[in-house]
Amino acid sequence: MTFRGSLKPHPLLVSAGWLNAPDTQFVLQTVMDGGGTARIVGGAVRNTLLGRPVKDIDIATSVHPEEVMARAERAGLQAIPTGVAHGTVTILAGHKPFEVTTLRRDVETHGRHATVAFTEDWSADAHRRDFTINALYCDADGTLHDFVGGVADLTGHRVRFIGRPEDRIAEDYLRILRFYRFTAEYANGGIDGEGHLACSALQEGLERISAERIRAELMKLIVAPFALLSLSEMDEAGILPRILGRAGDLVTLARLVGIEALNAIPPDPIRRLYALAVREPDAAAALKEQLRLSKTEYERLADLQLPDRAFDTREPETWSQVYIYRSGAPAFRDGLLVSWARDVAAEMNDSAYLKRLWLPDRWTVPVLPVSGKDVLALGIQSGPEVGQILSLLDQWWMAAGFPDDAALIHQRLHALVNVKER
């Protein structure tokens, strides 16, 4: 069924701040200056109709990429040829990037790889996009264009492929993960059975997709509002173990999601990934390879070694304080939340865990009141030894529960210096 939006400005679009912003209007006018049409497409239109925040602004245009570059430069805007061969130019206006892509239609070559040709046919461009809710366009004045029934699917919370799912997946296997990601974000707890079946049947194609692209989709999926639904379906189909390279622990993840929701803690992709996939000590390194995690992401996974006394609510708070002192409050919270999720005997509003969770707000991280200068003043030559003494003093200070008795601390420092000097 084809649903065409009436060709009148849509009230939600007309009043959207991002559309009325002078930068947006200027970019649209610049691209069209000299002939041709430019429209906003994708996430910005979709999210505005849903009343959700808009992240980035994608523009589709009948103007060819070299001409887009020329028009932008003529208007004094910086234009970056991000992927001119595919038709994409990034225009910077007010320090914001606008991705401008020339209308395309898919051309089959040898029945295998889909290449693209530029076109002036808006409906053809809509049909080569992935899901109906992602193929909505709007003019500079807020007029909505819907060639594939996207508005009806948005209203019905359906994430549906445009055309036969099998065909669309075979063109680009990343669409399997995009299907589960958008389902987790927009389908309100339902899933399109036809799409799911096709993804399940064609999942081997994911082997052809780079780890970086898989990682990017997974990181967005795992924090989406209906992540659990998508991940359970993916797990049942065998897609989740395929992309993680190991079995996923959905029970722990479900508890973590519940604890976060109940206590208004914003989700974090690495914390959730840890809950889902890091059980054994070598899992972090394996995931780093499997998903090409960044160094920082990997270190967050690897540094979190569970179990740890710091996250055991029966232990004194000092252990938690030492953890916060060493690794910071965010790492402490991650560890505590995952430990709580794994402690199946604990309720999701357990008061002991809750009290410990907010420890960083009740307790100010102390600063060792001794510096390198104090060590030098005791006659130690500047060099690595100064650091070693400070580090030993620091360890003692932590273990002693951060005493603020200056005399005691200096007594200890003297003792350490004397040992070194002997």
- Picked from ligand ATP, Mg ion, none, the partner binding residue 297 (CB below 5 to 8 A depending on kind) is none
User: Which amino acid, residue 146?
Assistant: D
- Picked from Mg ion, ligand ATP, none, the partner binding residue 249 (CB below 5 to 8 A depending on kind) is none
* Binding flag, residue 95, ligand ATP (CB under 6 A): no
- DSSP-assigned states of every residue in 274-339: HHHH--STTHHHHHHHHHT--HHHHHHHHH--SS-GGG-TTS-HHHHHHHHHHH-HHHHHHHHHHH
* Binding flag, residue 129, ligand ATP (CB under 6 A): yes
Q: How far is the CB of 257 from ligand ATP (least distance, A)?
A: 20
Question: Can you say how many angstroms the Cα of residue 280 is from the centroid of all Cα atoms in its chain?
Answer: 24
Q: Of 54-62, 189-197, 361-369, 395-403, which segment contacts ligand ATP by CB under 6 A?
A: 54-62
Q: Of 52-60, 245-253, 293-301, 376-384, which segment contacts ligand ATP by CB under 6 A?
A: 52-60
CA distance 200 to 238: 8
Q: How far is the CB of 185 from Mg ion (least distance, A)?
A: 12
Q: Which long-range contacts (CB under 8 A, 24 or more apart) does 257-263 make?
A: 257/227, 257/228, 258/348, 259/337, 259/340, 259/341, 259/348, 260/337, 262/348, 262/349, 263/349, 263/354, 263/357
* Binding flag, residue 39, ligand ATP (CB under 6 A): no
Nearer to ligand ATP, 138 or 174 (CB): 174
Nearer to Mg ion, 70 or 216 (CB): 216
* Binding flag, residue 174, ligand ATP (CB under 6 A): yes
Nearer to Mg ion, 56 or 141 (CB): 56
Site for Mg ion in 2-61 (CB under 5 A): 43, 56
Q: Tokens in use for 69?
A: 């570059």
Q: Of 9-17, 114-122, 126-134, 281-289, which segment contacts ligand ATP by CB under 6 A?
A: 126-134
* Binding flag, residue 153, ligand ATP (CB under 6 A): no
Nearer to Mg ion, 132 or 320 (CB): 132
* Binding flag, residue 303, Mg ion (CB under 5 A): no
Q: 57-61 and 96-102 as β-strands: parallel, antiparallel, unpaired? A: parallel
Size of the site for ligand ATP (CB under 6 A): 13
Q: 96-102 and 104-108 as β-strands: parallel, antiparallel, unpaired? A: unpaired
- Picked from Mg ion, ligand ATP, none, the partner binding residue 129 (CB below 5 to 8 A depending on kind) is ligand ATP
- Picked from Mg ion, ligand ATP, none, the partner binding residue 134 (CB below 5 to 8 A depending on kind) is ligand ATP
CA distance 397 to 228: 43
Name every residue whose Cβ is closer than 8 Å to that of residue 47 and which is 6 or more positions away in sequence: 53, 54, 55
β-pair partners for 101: 60, 88
Other beta carbons within 10 angstroms of residue 305's beta carbon come to: 10
The secondary structure of residue 5, as a DSSP letter, is -
Q: Tokens in use for 81?
A: 């040829």
Among 13, 16, 27, 43, binds ligand ATP (CB under 6 A): 43
Phi, psi of 138 (to 5 degrees): -140, 140
Q: Tokens in use for 117?
A: 């040709």
Task: From residue 95, give the alpha-carbon distance in Å to each of 27, 87, 91, 243.
Answer: 12, 22, 9, 36
- Picked from ligand ATP, Mg ion, none, the partner binding residue 360 (CB below 5 to 8 A depending on kind) is none
* Binding flag, residue 248, ligand ATP (CB under 6 A): no
* Binding flag, residue 272, ligand ATP (CB under 6 A): no
Among 38, 40, 89, 135, binds ligand ATP (CB under 6 A): 135
- Picked from ligand ATP, Mg ion, none, the partner binding residue 66 (CB below 5 to 8 A depending on kind) is none
CA distance 351 to 386: 44
Q: How far is the CB of 129 from ligand ATP (least distance, A)?
A: 4
User: Which amino acid, residue 32?
Assistant: M
Site for ligand ATP in 55-74 (CB under 6 A): 55-56, 58
By CB under 6 A, name the binding residues for ligand ATP.
42-43, 55-56, 58, 129-130, 134-135, 172, 174-175, 178
By CB under 5 A, name the binding residues for Mg ion.
43, 56
